[in-house]
Chain A
Amino acid sequence: MPKAFCCALLLVAVLAAGAAAAGEALAPATLPLSRGRIFEEQGGAALFASVCAGCHQPDASGASGAAAYPALADNSNVASADYMERLLLYGQRGMPPVGQMMSDQQIADVINYVRTHFGNAYGDTLSGADVERARRQTGSSP
């Protein structure tokens, strides 16, 4: 076992040299990568950029193909925070239940972010406690 550990260290050293030589090709990516089963991004803006934007687009304008990802910009459906909370916890149609990989606070943060950006300006906010209550009532654990 100690021998294997030694080899691993050596490999890391070789790697560091390799990475430096390759320069730009091995530069870190622009978005973070979580290490576990829960998103590590914190705050609405970071969560939106790493999760929602993949389909709904960075400017929340949506996209279309065989069907369509709705725009979140200027979308009257986001008037209901409860509706968004439900989508995140359970998914709907093509959308997976991404909220199952978020804490209560992360769900609240990303919903509040969308509802106050991209042309949306709703005054009421969702708290982590609200999400916790919804999860408890419906039996959806993180």
Chain B
Amino acid sequence: MKAAIAAVPYASVVKTGLQFRRRFWEEDEQIFGGISYTNLPIRQISYPSTGFNAGGKGVLLGGYTWGGPNSYELTAMSPADRIKVALDCGAQIHPQYASEFETGISVAWHRVPFTLGCAGEWTDEARRQHYDNLCQIDGRIVLAGEHASYIPAWQEGAILSALDAITRLHKRILASR
């Protein structure tokens, strides 16, 4: 299990949220929810799926960079610099960014103290070598989470893994009675 734990690195992911004075994507461009996929370092802009036509302020997911050089480069920047990048990139698609931006927030998962990374990054080879060992009950230790599932990074994987771990633990306790 130790070897299996050491063999799964964590994916580098950065998200940036941007608050604007008005929901210009709805008011000017009739965009209601959905995502603009780009070839820029921000990768995508995701529009809110709630509060349509409510007027007032709005928040966009102004960047969602998963893996690749840009995710590391953004992680190495200060949150303020990441927001500058998100504004610079996003303004190439929505010129309203320049006049409507209010404030922003940025998270790089490798800098989140309680996870130090976004999600388990498996390869087929690592799965073959280590997955079964990672999911064993080893003495008093049993692991559960997205990293111990075939749906890494998703809540579904974490929940399935939790159900699986508890089921196996329960069986083992009953068998030992």
- How many inter-chain residue pairs (CB < 8 Å) link A and B? 125
Q: Is the CB of B6 within 8 A of A34?
A: no
Assess whether B113 is interfacial by the CB under 8 Å rule. yes
Known: A22-B98, A26-B98, A30-B81. A37 touches B116 (CB 8 A): no
User: Interface readout for A92-103 with B: 1 if CB under 8 Å, 0 if not?
Assistant: 111111100100
Assess whether B165 is interfacial by the CB under 8 Å rule. no
User: Interface readout for A49-67 with B: 1 if CB under 8 Å, 0 if not?
Assistant: 1110111000000011111
Assess whether B69 is interfacial by the CB under 8 Å rule. yes
**Considering the chains assembled together, what is the distance between the CA atoms of A101 and B12 in angstroms?**
13
* Residue in A29, A40, A63 with the greatest tally of chain B CB atoms within 10 Å: A29
- Please, which residues of chain A bring their CB within 8 A of the CB of B110? 54-55, 94
Known: A49-B76, A67-B116. A19 touches B85 (CB 8 A): no
- Please, which residues of chain B bring their CB within 8 A of the CB of A129? none
**Considering the chains assembled together, what is the distance between the CA atoms of A12 and B92 in angstroms?**
7
Assess whether B149 is interfacial by the CB under 8 Å rule. no
Assess whether B135 is interfacial by the CB under 8 Å rule. no
Of B9, B77, B99, which is within 8 A of A29 by CB? B77
- Please, which residues of chain B bring their CB within 8 A of the CB of A38? 69
Of A22, A30, A67, which is within 8 A of B77 by CB? A30
Known: A54-B75, A54-B76. A14 touches B69 (CB 8 A): no
**Considering the chains assembled together, what is the distance between the CA atoms of A22 and B97 in angstroms?**
9
How many interface residues does chain B have, given as a range?
35 or more
Assess whether A142 is interfacial by the CB under 8 Å rule. no
How many interface residues does chain A have, given as a range?
35 or more
Q: Is the CB of A21 within 8 A of B98?
A: yes
**Considering the chains assembled together, what is the distance between the CA atoms of A18 and B68 in angstroms?**
29
**Considering the chains assembled together, what is the distance between the CA atoms of A33 and B84 in angstroms?**
12
- Please, which residues of chain A bring their CB within 8 A of the CB of B9? 91-97
17 CB contacts below 8 A, A to B, read A15-B91, A30-B77, A33-B70, A34-B69, A37-B69, A40-B69, A50-B76, A54-B75, A55-B110, A65-B112, A65-B115, A69-B116, A92-B7, A93-B9, A94-B10, A95-B9, A96-B12
- What is the interface of chain A, defined by CB distance below 8 A to chain B? 11-12, 14-15, 18-19, 21-22, 25-34, 36-40, 49-51, 53-55, 63-67, 69, 91-98, 101
